[in-house]
Structures are given as structure tokens and as C-alpha cells.
Amino acid sequence: MKRVWRNSDKTGPGNGSILDTVEGRALPVYLLHRQNIVRKALNVLPLMPSANDIRKGQVIKFNGEPHLVMETMHRTPGNLRAFVQVKMRNLRYGKALDQRFASTDNIEVLPTEKKTLEFSYVDRDSYAFMDPTTYETVELSAELIGDSKNYLTANGKVDVLFVDEKALTIELPSSVTLKITESPDGVKGDTASNVQKTATMETGLIVQVPLFIKVGELIKVSTSDGSYMGRA
């Protein structure tokens, strides 16, 4: 049996009640239209859980901007009303803040999707990535990429967070392999392990490396602080 909303009834959602119809029987056009409206409405309604249900990793709308929830703490101070202390970061500007919500406040949770993309090329102020699943090209702004540009090499993979189908953040792997394009020769006979020299990577990043590392070598570099981790 199929269930559809009957136009003439005054009860139920949208002034309709449920009418059972036999499977396969043609439905009036107005009933089909009403079903489509209901389905579309259900798809666009925002998710509005209470502050008590907010969890780390979700993206919420606060002051009209998307914020990534980094930490939540539930508190009930004495006879006062319970509240939730939320540590979050503005995904557009990177600013972190602490915000207190009443435990019953309704918070809008934004739909998110994380995609792994492969870096392709730079075109002026636009960085092009390819989705290896669909082979579509996704362009991200230089502002969004920021200092991550120092770790991008051809076909290198990054995770991009999309909020409401818009790319907002880029997440690098913990380390990347980079090629040294310029570095002075080490002093002959100097074998001290703690002595280092500067080296310029293929991306323009400058890294402190041991004296024995030479131009043309591949090294592993930490993306958290740009430090040398060893030969690749």
C-alpha cells in the first residue's frame, strides 16, 4: 500500500491526512505534486538539535558563520541552569572562540562532506585539484590554501572539508615528500649530527637539514611545523 496526503482533509501535516491507495493505481496530479513539495521541504529543513547534543567535529552556524566544534563541556553550576561551553573555530577566518549555550538552545548543524582530492596545478590565484572518484576539477582560492601551498606537489593528496557544498578548509597529511632544489654544500670533515644548513624545497619552503643532505634528494617534511624528518 502507498500512503499519500489527501487534499480535502483538515488534519495532519499541510492540512492533509493519510490516504491508502492500491499499489500501481494512478494518483491524481495534485496528489503527486503535494508529495513532491513535502519531500523537498524535508530535504531543506536544517538540523536543529539542542546544545546538549552538539558533538566535537560537527560544523554549526553561529552569528551567520560556519564554526567547527573542537570541544564541548557540559556544566550545571549549583542552582543555576545547565549550560554547554563550546570551543569552536570560525572556518572562514580561522579565529577560535569559547561560547556558552543554554543546554536547551537549538543549534543549527550544517551538512558537511570531506573529500580527498589530488593537487593538479596553480593558475594565478587559483589552485586546481582533481577528484579521483569523479575526475572533476575543483578550484580552491589562494586565500583558502594559505601556507599549505608549501606542501603541495603534483598528485599530492589533501582532505578538503565542504560545508553546504562549499570548500572551507584543507587538511594536509602529517608529512609530505619534497625535493631539494637548492642548498649550500656542507663543510668537509664536519660530521656533527646537530649541525644543520638551510635547504630550499621545490615548493619554495625553506627547511633546516643535516649537512650531508644534497641538492636533488627527496626528504620527508612535517606539515605541522615544516621540520626535517629524514630521507624519503
CATH number at residue 129: 2.40.50.140
The whole-number pLDDT of residue 23 equals 43
**The domain spanning residue 82 has which CATH number?**
2.30.30.30
Asked which of 171, 187, 217 is the last residue of a domain, the reply is 171
Q: What pLDDT does residue 175 have?
A: 97
C-alpha cell at 150: 608549501
For residue 124, the model assigns a pLDDT of 85
- For residue 74, the Cα-to-chain-centroid distance in whole angstroms is 25
pLDDT for 69-98, tens place per residue?
Answer: 999 999 888 777 899 999 999 988 888 999
Give the whole-angstrom CA distance, residue 198 versus residue 190: 16
Percent pLDDT > 70 in the chain is: 76
Q: Is residue 215 part of a domain?
A: yes
Residue 133 belongs to some domain of the structure: yes
Residue of 60, 81, 80 lying closest to 70 (CA atoms): 60
- Phi, psi for 151 (deg, rounded to 5): -120, 10
CA 177 vs. chain centroid, Å, equals: 23
Same domain assignment for residues 119 and 166: yes
pLDDT value at residue 190 = 58
Say which residues have a Cβ less than 8 Å from residue 165's Cβ, sequence separation at least 6: 113
Q: Which of 36-40, 188-192, 211-215 has the highest mean pLDDT?
A: 211-215
Classify residue 34: in a domain, yes or no. yes
Return the exposure string of 67-84: e unless at least 16 CB atoms fall within 10 Å of the residue's CB, then b.
Answer: bbbeebeeeeeeeeeebb
Average pLDDT over the chain reads: 81
pTM over 0.85: no
Domain that holds residue 84: 51-102
pLDDT in tens, 128-177: 999 999 999 999 989 889 999 999 999 999 999 999 888 888 999 999 99
Q: Which three cell numbers stand for residue 148?
A: 599549505
CA angle 195, 200, 204 (to 5 degrees): 145
Q: Is residue 163 part of a domain?
A: yes
- Count of domains observed in the chain: 4
- Shared domain check, 165 and 116: yes
107 inside domain: no
Residue 221 has pLDDT above 90, yes or no: yes
